[in-house]
Amino acid sequence: MNQASLIFIAASYVLGNGGVVAPAGTSMISYMALQHRVPVVAFCESYKFTIRVNIDQIKGNEVGDPTDITHSSINQN
């Protein structure tokens, strides 16, 4: 990080308040860049901008059927 002059990140989407939602680990990279005073630029396609604002990200997580990821033999009686 000491040798970086600029950090580029990919954004999943951009919120109405300027917040960026990105893949896991991106916030740690951005935080380290902040600590080292390295600018961060987020790239995102224009159709992925939304007027929505996240108060907490938990509500924005995907929710699926847990049986889709469990082993089929566990579900058999």
Overall pTM surpassing 0.85 (yes/no): no
Tell the burial category of 30 from Cβ atoms under 10 Å away from its Cβ (0-12, 13-18, 19+). middle
Tell the burial category of 15 from Cβ atoms under 10 Å away from its Cβ (0-12, 13-18, 19+). middle
Instruction: Note the pLDDT tens digit of each residue in 27-61.
Output: 899 999 999 999 999 888 877 777 766 665 555 55
pLDDT band at 71 (very low <50, low <70, confident <90, very high): low
pLDDT band at 8 (very low <50, low <70, confident <90, very high): very high
Structural domain spans, the chain? 1-45
Residue 15 has pLDDT above 70, yes or no: yes
